[in-house]
């Protein structure tokens, strides 16, 4: 194992070898025939962006599972190109997760796979993960897998570009907070306030998450009532994306989602070059997405990217870690990249060469910062991994290694938890979480700047 030259607070190589064993054991325990569950208790099915991060981890230890992971997810791709955010395991009992297939009813829609799925998507980090997985394990089987995946990844992008550009401005619109991956981020408070629903609706349902995690660390009942109302609106519209602007209750352009969308085109250009396809169109699309992100979501007054609520055509005010994600775009102009590095280093996010606390998901100086509640403050490894990737992309290896150390220290102190207290590092949510284990494996192997 190469743990990298930079010492962590965790120290010597024996300890790092132990961490690696813990990560592999966690992934092994969550492996389910052809995919990895995020958590055996909280999330026992397959999730879209989890599988992308998890594939990257598998590439370090069992590359064949990386390709199986992505292949099983893409087998559930809809005919329109959308990659559903949940693929349900038919072997599990009804009630193993809420909301289950009964709510989504994907089988009623034409062009859906034989297996039950949700109808939403998640940030398209898959092309980037597939490319990096191949770079971690560049063998002929990996190249063959990349070649098979390529058309599916292109179809995923085409769906987003053609069906989800609701404002016609070159960016993808998310139609549910679940699509952002940061479900209850303060970024969604403004758009969610306009969604008509009552917390009391939840009396008719049994939430599965609060049976396995502390309710104070999860979204509220009012959040869930609104989540269900938005799903029902989309489902009852047949998950059709036409006319969304006319009445869909939640329509937002998210900086992280769109950064992933642009980064996917960069990755596809590399995959095309590796597999004998033409990279040029991907590069041109990546440039267009980057330009649209800067034009639509960069706020020069705050020096960060903010989501745009399409129902009001206004940028939302909350400064969340979503705003740092455009750093993953290699073509981000220096002015915005520098502003994001300043934002990352500010007391709001505290990225430093030696970090005294982990990266939070929300401005830690905000009065409504909540250190325990899910995406409203706690530290998450996938977000730290993306920000670190962005810092490397824009020439900040010393900040990137500070972030890396702080992430390794989190797992060393608490285990492969789903998320962590952003002051104390205490583990929260699921104690055996897939992407934490997978991304730890990636972080343990220090890589050169992209
Ligand atoms: C969380 O989201 C699901 C809904 O999709 C949930 O709360 O039940 C989020 O953290 C999301 O980003 C993640 O993909 C999913 C599975 O880990 O859990």
Per residue in 364-413, pLDDT (tens digit) is 999 999 999 999 999 999 999 999 999 999 999 999 999 999 999 999 99
CA 181 – ligand 1 centroid, Å: 6
Average pLDDT over residues 217-241: 97
Residue whose C-alpha is closest to residue 220's, from 37, 422, 430, 375: 375
* pLDDT at 6 > cutoff 50: no
- CA angle in degrees (0–180, nearest 5) for 385-391-394: 140
% of the chain with per-residue pLDDT over 70: 96
Q: For residue 446, what pLDDT is reported?
A: 72
Give phi and psi for 261, each to the nearest 5.
-60, -45
Q: Name the residues annotated as catalytic.
A: 183, 418
Cα separation, 416 vs 404, whole angstroms: 15
Of 48, 180, 182, 183, the one to substitute when testing ligand 1's pocket (max ligand atoms within 8 A of C-beta) is: 183
Average pLDDT over residues 246-256: 97
Of 178, 185, 207, the one to substitute when testing ligand 1's pocket (max ligand atoms within 8 A of C-beta) is: 178
Average pLDDT over residues 12-24: 89
Cα separation, 349 vs 341, whole angstroms: 10
Cα separation, 177 vs 174, whole angstroms: 7
Contact 330, 344 (CB under 8 A): no
Contact 340, 323 (CB under 8 A): yes
Report residue 448's pLDDT band, with 50, 70 and 90 as the boundaries.
low
Going by alpha carbons, the residue nearest to atom 17 of ligand 1 is 38
Report residue 299's pLDDT band, with 50, 70 and 90 as the boundaries.
very high
Going by alpha carbons, the residue nearest to atom 12 of ligand 1 is 181
Around Cβ 430, how many Cβ atoms within 10 Å? 22
* pLDDT at 126 > cutoff 90: yes
Of 37, 38, 43, the one to substitute when testing ligand 1's pocket (max ligand atoms within 8 A of C-beta) is: 43
Contact 316, 187 (CB under 8 A): yes
Q: For residue 364, what pLDDT is reported?
A: 98
User: Where is 259: in which H helix or E strand?
Assistant: helix 255-275
Mean pLDDT over each residue of the chain, to the nearest integer: 96
Report residue 264's pLDDT band, with 50, 70 and 90 as the boundaries.
very high
Q: For residue 373, what pLDDT is reported?
A: 97
* pLDDT at 7 > cutoff 80: no
User: Where is 31: in which H helix or E strand?
Assistant: strand 31-32
Tokens 């089988």, located at residue = 107
Q: For residue 172, what pLDDT is reported?
A: 98
Q: For residue 9, what pLDDT is reported?
A: 60
pTM of the model as a whole? 0.97
Around Cβ 435, how many Cβ atoms within 10 Å? 25
Cα separation, 63 vs 186, whole angstroms: 37
The number of CA neighbours under 13 Å toward the Cβ of 170 is 16
Q: Give buried/exposed letters for 369-406 (b at 16+ CB in 10 A, else e).
A: bbbbbbbbbbbbbbbbbbbbbbbbbbebbebbbbbbbb
Give phi and psi for 288, each to the nearest 5.
-65, -40
Cα separation, 152 vs 416, whole angstroms: 31
Angle between helices 381-393 and 48-61 (to 10 degrees): 70
Cα separation, 303 vs 336, whole angstroms: 7
Token output for 301: 């007054």
Return the DSSP state at 212: H
Residue whose C-alpha is closest to residue 277's, from 138, 150, 127: 150
Q: Positive or negative, the Cα torsion across 275, 61, 88, 231?
A: negative
Around Cβ 318, how many Cβ atoms within 10 Å? 19
- Give residue 315's Cα distance to chain centre: 21
* pLDDT at 77 > cutoff 70: yes
* pLDDT at 174 > cutoff 50: yes
Angle between helices 381-393 and 434-444 (to 10 degrees): 30
User: Where is 252: in which H helix or E strand?
Assistant: strand 252-253
Ligand 1 atom with minimal separation from the 382 CA: 12
* pLDDT at 1 > cutoff 90: no
* pLDDT at 139 > cutoff 70: yes
Angle between helices 13-30 and 397-414 (to 10 degrees): 70
* pLDDT at 5 > cutoff 50: no
Query: Which distant-in-sequence residues (6+ apart) come within 8 Å of 304 by Cβ?
Result: 298, 319, 323, 324, 339, 340, 343
Give phi and psi for 341, each to the nearest 5.
-65, -40
Q: Which residues line ligand 1 (CB under 6 A)?
A: 38, 43, 47, 49-50, 85, 178, 181, 183, 209
Ligand 1 atom with minimal separation from the 118 CA: 5
Report residue 11's pLDDT band, with 50, 70 and 90 as the boundaries.
low
Cα separation, 236 vs 252, whole angstroms: 20
CA 128 – ligand 1 centroid, Å: 20
Around Cβ 102, how many Cβ atoms within 10 Å? 10
Ligand 1 atom with minimal separation from the 375 CA: 10
């Amino acid at each position: 194992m190469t743990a990298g030259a930079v010492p962590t607070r965790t120290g010597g190589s024996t300890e790092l070898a132990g961490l690696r064993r813990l990560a592999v054991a966690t992934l092994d325990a969550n492996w389910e025939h052809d995919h990895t569950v995020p958590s055996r208790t909280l999330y026992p099915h397959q999730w879209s962006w989890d599988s992308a991060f998890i594939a990257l981890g598998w590439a370090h230890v069992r590359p064949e599972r990386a390709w199986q992971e992505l292949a099983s997810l893409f087998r559930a791709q809809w005919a329109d190109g959308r990659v559903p955010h949940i693929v349900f395991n038919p072997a599990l009992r009804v009630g193993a997760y809420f909301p289950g297939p009964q709510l989504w009813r994907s089988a009623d829609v034409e062009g859906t796979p034989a297996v039950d799925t949700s109808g939403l998507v998640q940030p398209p980090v898959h092309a980037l993960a597939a490319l990096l997985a191949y770079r971690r394990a560049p063998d002929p089987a990996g190249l063959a897998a990349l070649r098979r995946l390529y058309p599916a990844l292109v179809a995923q992008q085409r769906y987003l570009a053609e069906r989800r550009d609701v404002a016609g401005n070159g960016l993808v619109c998310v139609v549910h907070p679940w699509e952002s991956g940061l479900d209850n981020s303060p970024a969604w408070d403004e758009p969610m306030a306009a969604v008509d629903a009552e917390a009391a609706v939840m009396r008719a349902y049994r939430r599965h998450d609060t049976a396995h995690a502390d309710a104070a660390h999860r979204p509220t009942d009012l959040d869930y009532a609104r989540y269900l109302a938005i799903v029902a609106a989309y489902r009852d519209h047949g998950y059709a994306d036409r006319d969304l602007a006319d009445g869909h209750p939640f329509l937002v352009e998210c900086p992280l989602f769109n950064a992933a969308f642009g980064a996917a085109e960069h990755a596809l250009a590399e995959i095309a070059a590796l597999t004998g396809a033409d990279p040029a169109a991907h590069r041109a699309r990546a440039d267009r997405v980057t330009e649209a992100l800067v034009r639509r979501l960069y706020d020069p007054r705050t020096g960060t990217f903010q989501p745009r609520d399409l129902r009001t055509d206004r940028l939302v005010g909350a400064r969340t870690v979503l705003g740092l994600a455009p750093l993953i775009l290699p073509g981000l102009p220096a002015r915005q990249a520098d502003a994001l590095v300043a934002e990352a280093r500010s007391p709001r996010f505290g990225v430093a060469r030696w970090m005294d606390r982990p990266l939070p998901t929300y401005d830690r100086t905000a009065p409504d910062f909540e250190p325990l509640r899910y995406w409203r403050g706690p530290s998450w490894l996938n977000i730290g991994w993306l920000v670190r990737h962005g810092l490397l992309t824009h020439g900040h290896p010393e900040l990137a290694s500070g972030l890396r150390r702080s992430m390794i220290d989190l797992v060393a102190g608490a285990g492969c938890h789903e998320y962590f207290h952003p002051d104390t590092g205490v583990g929260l949510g699921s104690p055996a979480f897939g992407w934490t284990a997978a991304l730890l494996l990636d972080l343990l192997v220090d890589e050169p700047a992209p």
